[in-house]
Amino acid sequence: NDCNLTPVRVASPASNATVELADIDWDNLGFGLNPADYMFIMKCSQDENFSKGKLQRFGNIELSPSAGVLNYGQGLFEGLKAYRKHDGKILLFRPEENALRLRTGAERMCMPSPTVEQFVEAVKVTVLANRRWVPPPGKGSLYIRPLLMGSGAVLGLAPAPEYTFVIYVSPVGNYFKEGLAPINLVVETETHRATPGGTGGVKTIGNYAAVLKAQSIAKAKGYSDVLYLDSIHKRYLEEVSSCNVFVVKGNVISTPAIKGTILPGITRKSIIDVASSQGFQVEERLVTVDELLAADEVFCTGTAVVVSPVGSITYLGKRVSYGSDGVGHVSQQLYSALTSLQMGLTEDKMGWTVEL
Ligand code: COI
């Protein structure tokens, strides 16, 4: 393929020289792993703090079969993105928010965690080392995946004696196969993602394993993903497997409040601020499935999904469509406002972006 043989060159912020981009098909990035050059690794024991990490070539990591993460799920992950601007500079979006969320999750999962400064520095170092994998402007982003895990060996149920913090990256495009077109969700009525007092509010790996079955069944029926309800009343919205949900009615935008069973999304939080600054009335509260079905527009937010419009919801076999399957104008407006900021196309009055 000619396209792959021709090196793409982009401006480099460090000098007037150009950086040769990785040799991949930038026009057809989906949300899959394209392994980059380096990953960051930092370890510490149970009664220590993380001190110094290092970059190494991306590759497999070695774990004891008895590692805490493999046996008892003692693990957390994060997700954030880097975008390349037209001037060659790279922008991170609110990395300190991911650092803080990882620290909250680590507390819940009985793990030591990097400081906010260590986390942000490690993200910067990893992105810069892999700069040739940051897509050209308009072609996607570099997805950054920090992991924190109990890597030490245990047999009886206990916190692992050693912890490993890893960051790897991959260039990505759109999350859903629909691209930017509206997705079709089905409300799950059999299983639940989280329950009060559980771990639904932290980004622990088990929360994502727990939704795979319902997601696979839904996908086999042609849906894009599953929307979960609360486990007690079975009528309040929680979230989709990999993202938060918003419901639009007139000038009011509502989203389920964070009460321990919902992941506190950084895109969720950012969209609440962006929508409020644009004059919408934003409400974080209990949102019923009836309100969902009566909405003018529905959209999902997440680092991976960005702002994804919802074209239809199916609940107990009944399908409701929004805006004749087109992208609703509120979803479109908020998507544009957020991504322009993330890509450095509009002035960042919020102070959310970090330039590398
Ligand atoms: C993200 O949006 O970054 C996530 O962590 C969701 C993941 C399932 C892709």
Q: What is the pLDDT of residues 57-85, one digit of tens each?
A: 999 999 999 999 999 999 999 999 999 99
The pLDDT value recorded for residue 325 is 58
Give the atom of ligand 1 at the shortest distance from the alpha carbon of 145: 3
Give Cβ neighbours of residue 183 (< 8 Å, ≥ 6 apart).
176, 224, 225, 300, 308, 309, 310, 311
Residue 79 CA to ligand 1 center (angstroms) comes to: 6
Q: What separation in Å is there between the alpha carbon of 111 and the centre of ligand 1?
A: 21
Q: What is the pLDDT of residues 131-163, one digit of tens each?
A: 999 999 999 999 999 999 999 999 999 999 999
| pLDDT computed for residue 112 by the predictor | 97
Kindly give, in sequence order, each residue whose CB lies less than 8 Å from that of residue 272, ignoring residues fewer than 6 positions away: 255, 282, 284
Distance 18 CA to ligand 1 centre (A): 32
In whole angstroms, how far apart are CA 228 and each of 35, 240, 281? 32, 6, 24
**203 in catalytic set:** yes
Bridge partners (DSSP) of residue 170 are 143
For the segment 230-274, what is each residue's pLDDT rounded down to a tens digit?
A: 999 999 999 999 999 999 999 999 999 999 999 999 999 999 999
304-310 mean pLDDT: 94
pLDDT at 3 over 70: no
* Percentage with pLDDT > 70 across the chain: 94
pLDDT tens column, 106-122:
999 999 999 999 999 99
CA distance 303 to 328: 20
| Mutation to probe ligand 1, out of 170, 239, 243, 270 (largest number of atoms < 8 A from CB) | 243
pLDDT at site 181: 83
Q: How remote is the CA of residue 94 from the centroid of ligand 1, in Å?
A: 15
| Atom number of ligand 1 nearest to Cα 78 | 5
Q: CA quadruple 246, 249, 253, 254: dihedral positive or negative?
A: negative
Q: Are 239 and 193 in contact (CB under 8 A)?
A: yes
CA–centroid distance, 21 to ligand 1, in Å, is 25
CB under 8 Å to 68, separation ≥6 — which residues?
74, 149, 150, 151, 152, 153, 154, 158, 159, 160
- Ligand 1, atom 7: closest residue by C-alpha: 242
Q: Are 81 and 167 spatial neighbours (Cβ–Cβ below 8 Å)? A: no
Of all protein residues, whose CA lies closest to atom 5 belonging to ligand 1? Answer: 79
Q: Could you tell me what percentage of the chain is helix, strand and coil, using 3-state DSSP and rounding each to the nearest 5?
A: 25, 30, 45
- Residue with CA at minimum distance from ligand 1 atom 8: 242
- Rounded Cα gap, residues 19 and 8, in angstroms: 8
Q: What is the pLDDT of residue 145?
A: 98
Mean predicted lDDT score pLDDT of the chain: 92
The average pLDDT across 332-347 equals 94
Point out the ligand 1 atom lying closest to the alpha carbon of residue 302. Answer: 2
Catalytic residue among 81, 85, 139, 203: 203
Q: Looking at the DSSP assignment, which residues form a beta bridge with residue 44?
A: 163
Ligand 1 shell residues, CB under 6 Å:
79, 208, 242, 302-304
Q: At 2, is the pLDDT very low, low, confident or very high (cuts 50, 70, 90)?
A: very low
**In this model, does residue 17 exceed pLDDT 70?**
no
Q: Which atom of ligand 1 approaches the CA of 79 most closely?
A: 3
Distance between CA atoms of residues 202 and 194, nearest Å: 10
